[in-house]
Amino acid sequence: MTDLPQDEPVFKRLALIGVGNIGSSIARAVRQAGNGAAHLAAFDRDPAVRARLLELGIVDSVHETAAEAVTGADGVVLCAPVGAYAAIMSEIAPHLEQGAVLTDIGSVKLAVVRDVAPLVPEGVHFVPGHPVAGTEKSGPDAGFAELFRGRFWLLTPEEGVDPTATAKVEALWSRVGAIVEVMDAAYHDKVLALTSHLPHLIAYTIVGTAFDVEEQERQDVIRFSAGGFRDFTRIAGSDPTMWRDIFLNNKEAVLEMLQRFTEDLTALQRQIRWGEGDKLYEFFERTREVRRSVVEAHQEGSNPWGPDANKEDADSEGGKPE
């Protein structure tokens, strides 16, 4: 990584395209850091969000179009659902500055490279990224500056990308407290399919199954919800647009992990049916070790700096991106 002066902002003008939970958290974090960007420009397709941004005062300028927001920007962050990236790029590509660095916060990376890279103008540097952080809450009011502190921010630059551009993105996210790592896009999608995408799919399924019952049973499910089920409902409360796009754009990896899960579930079903307690105990003991490893890595979910520090996050990336 190229060393950048700590007393100088990484970007002179940083444009955020989509300012919901993650986008507003980026704005707050960059402003709090003080050395991320000299000027924060923002655009959101929702007029109500744009009006709220003016009230919150967490950015320096709010624009009516994405093209206006990126004009003159040397850094641009796509914070919208990944399914919208191609349309956004078609709008902003003619207005991107030569030498500008483009990045994103999408939870899948191969699809982002597929949709965005062909539309990136010559002289603009694209460094895909993914903050493994978020809550199930949506909108600009849900963001907070400490969201990324101690969380991983994964970058997946393609071969041949200017290393100085990657260094700038790494510096920006490091300055808001994130742990930045660089990895291959395909590997990213496979790992996240297991650690994030599959758990969300399971949560949506469990909650859907629980409520696909008679009215009285449904009421009792709500009344007698134990901690585990409440956690599933919190995950299932995440933004449906974002997760629809994630599953459709990472379907190969998700389907592979879903098949593995189905096989393991079938094995557990057989062990329960035949009373194989020893095998069940052995399996549960192994999963306890995984939990201990997650805790030791300080990735157990609860953000000690967040506004709801006494509550666990819905998931590492449950929030609405725009």
Q: Give the separation between CA 319 and CA 128, rounded to whole angstroms.
A: 19
Which residues constitute the domain of residue 59? Answer: 11-184
| CA–CA distances in Å: residue 87 to residues 22, 70, 163, 186 | 20, 15, 27, 23
Structure tokens at 105: 């916060």
Q: Give the separation between CA 79 and CA 92, rounded to whole angstroms.
A: 14
In this structure, the answer to whether residues 179 and 249 fall within a common structural domain is no
42, burial (CB in 10 Å: exposed 0-12, middle 13-18, buried 19+): buried
In this structure, the answer to whether residues 56 and 75 fall within a common structural domain is yes
Cβ proximity of 169 and 196 under 8 Å: no
In this structure, the answer to whether residues 160 and 46 fall within a common structural domain is yes
Q: Is residue 316 part of a domain?
A: no
pLDDT at 44: 97
In this structure, the answer to whether residues 107 and 153 fall within a common structural domain is yes
pLDDT at 322: 42
pLDDT at 224: 67
In this structure, the answer to whether residues 194 and 134 fall within a common structural domain is no
pLDDT at 299: 59
pLDDT at 275: 93
Q: Is residue 263 part of a domain?
A: yes
Q: Is residue 75 part of a domain?
A: yes
Look at the chain and report how many structural domains it folds into. 2
CATH code of residue 57:
3.40.50.720
pLDDT at 199: 87
pLDDT at 227: 65
In this structure, the answer to whether residues 160 and 204 fall within a common structural domain is no
pLDDT at 131: 96
The residues, any chain, with a CB within 8 Å of residue 294's CB and separated by 6 or more, are 300
Domain boundary among 167, 184, 201: 184
Mapping DSSP to helix (H, G, I), strand (E, B) and coil, where does residue 182 land?
strand
Domain boundary among 184, 214, 233: 184
Q: Is residue 1 part of a domain?
A: no
In this structure, the answer to whether residues 116 and 156 fall within a common structural domain is yes
In this structure, the answer to whether residues 272 and 130 fall within a common structural domain is no
In this structure, the answer to whether residues 223 and 247 fall within a common structural domain is yes
Q: Is residue 153 part of a domain?
A: yes
In this structure, the answer to whether residues 151 and 64 fall within a common structural domain is yes
Give tens-digit pLDDT for 286-304: 888 887 877 776 655 545 4
In this structure, the answer to whether residues 67 and 215 fall within a common structural domain is no
Q: Is residue 307 part of a domain?
A: no
In this structure, the answer to whether residues 154 and 208 fall within a common structural domain is no
Q: What is the mean pLDDT of each run of 10 residues along the chain (322 residues)?
A: 77 97 96 96 97 96 98 97 95 98 96 96 98 83 93 96 97 97 95 88 84 69 69 80 87 90 92 93 88 70 48 42 42
CATH code of residue 260:
1.10.3660.10
Cβ proximity of 188 and 177 under 8 Å: no
Q: Is residue 195 part of a domain?
A: yes
pLDDT at 2: 52
Q: Is residue 314 part of a domain?
A: no
